Structure 1
Amino acid sequence: MNYLVGLWESIRDFLATGGDVLYVVMGALFIMWVLMIERFWFLTSEYPKLRNNIIAKWNARSDTTSWYAHKIRDAWLSEAEDKLNARILLIKTCVALCPLIGLLGTVTGMITVFEIMAVQGTGNPRLMASGISMATIPTMAGMVAALSGMYFATRLEARVRKAKNKLIDSLPHH
């Protein structure tokens, strides 16, 4: 329990040092990870049922060679592809937004530094240092969030592409 309290205090101190922009980075990171976990869950639990249903419907057809059969096959493949690619663009958008939100933190932190310099002059290095850390920490947090999301988003896209190709191969057209 003491470990969790210490962890929470560390997170709270980090958020206080980086300013309010870190809450926005944290929100974007949370949304990104919820979406990625949902997509991985879909690929492992829901998609196999959908794939097996499409394959069963295709194998149950007596006509698999006509133009109409190919259009039905294409429609089923398109439906499966839409479900596989759902929210992928939103995940990639969250990955791209994280560094930009961090840069917003840089700008607000530098504004704080300039305000301190205008009011106090350059004689108070402690206040300037807090403003500079407020400028650099959100940038770092945004970059770390984007890097973690980029790796898993790329893996997710590869799994989606592989699942789509396997489904195409499972529905032979003669």
Structure 2
Amino acid sequence: MFGEVYEPVYLFMERGGDVLYAIFGLIFILWLLVLERAGFFLFSYRAQVAAAVKEWESRSERRSWAAHQIRQDLISGLTLDLTANMSTIKMLIGLAPLFGLLGTVTGMIEVFDVMAFLGNGSPKAMASGISKATIPTMAGMVGALTGVFAQSLLDRYIKRQKIHLEDQLTFDH
């Protein structure tokens, strides 16, 4: 069972070259951060909102300038927690295609080395370099596309939660 999965992955990684390991690590960290955000939204955020609403509702007056500042502080703190790691996620999404491009360059250098060494255009001799040029590009783009999808879902959720939070902290008695 394990060998059936391991061998194709191993061959794919070998054909893609060393840069593919870096892309794999980058995408792994990207998805760890995406899952961390999802876990935060599912398990921690609601409790933090409930505590903020309870703190706000326990105030006897909510119309003064000081009350407005306290409300703004509650909203700002929760917004910071909502958006934590989002800039890192966006950065990793931007780096994935660049790492793929690095793989393209290193693969093409290998192709040119083979051509310089053999002095001809043998397709069999250049195949390894060409796969090392194309596979990392594909992997970087696929990683970036999946990251963009996850990031857009997270951004949409964050935007809705910000609006919902402001609606929960009302000024009325």
Give the TM-score, by structure 2 length.
Answer: 0.97
Aligned to 1:103: 101
State the shift of 1:148 in Å: 0.7
| Partner residue of 2:30 out of 32, 43, 47 | 32
State the shift of 1:123 in Å: 4.3
CA separation in 1, counterparts of 2:13 and 2:20?
6
Secondary structure, in 3 states, of the residue corresponding to 2:170? coil
Q: Which amino acid aligns with 2:10?
A: R
Question: Residues 8-47 of structure 1: matches in 2 within 5 Å?
Answer: 8-47=6-45
Secondary structure, in 3 states, of the residue corresponding to 1:63? coil
Q: Which amino acid aligns with 1:58?
A: W
State the shift of 1:161 in Å: 1.2
Aligned to 2:3: 5
Give the TM-score, by structure 1 length.
Answer: 0.96
CA separation in 2, counterparts of 1:123 and 1:39?
50
CA separation in 1, counterparts of 2:78 and 2:132?
46
Tell me if 1:156 matches 2:148: no
Aligned to 2:50: 52
Deviations 1:101-159 (A, max 9, x none): 00000000000000111111124321112111110000000000111111011101111
Tell me if 1:66 matches 2:64: yes
Aligned to 2:123: 125
CA shift in 2, pair 1:54/1:26, >3 Å? same
Deviations 1:19-56 (A, max 9, x none): 00000000000000000000000011100000000000
Secondary structure, in 3 states, of the residue corresponding to 2:48? helix
Secondary structure, in 3 states, of the residue corresponding to 1:97? helix
State the shift of 1:72 in Å: 0.5
CA shift in 2, pair 1:58/1:123, >3 Å? closer
Deviations 1:30-88 (A, max 9, x none): 00000000000001110000000000000000010001000000011000000100000
Q: Which runs of 5+ in 1 are unaligned?
A: none
Tell me if 1:84 matches 2:85: no
Aligned to 1:147: 145
Aligned to 1:116: 114
CA RMSD of aligned residues (A): 0.9
Large movers: runs of 4+ above 2 Å: none
CA separation in 2, counterparts of 1:173 and 1:112?
67
Give the number of equivalent residue pairs: 172
CA separation in 1, counterparts of 2:121 and 2:93?
40
Secondary structure, in 3 states, of the residue corresponding to 1:116? helix
Identity of aligned residues (%): 44
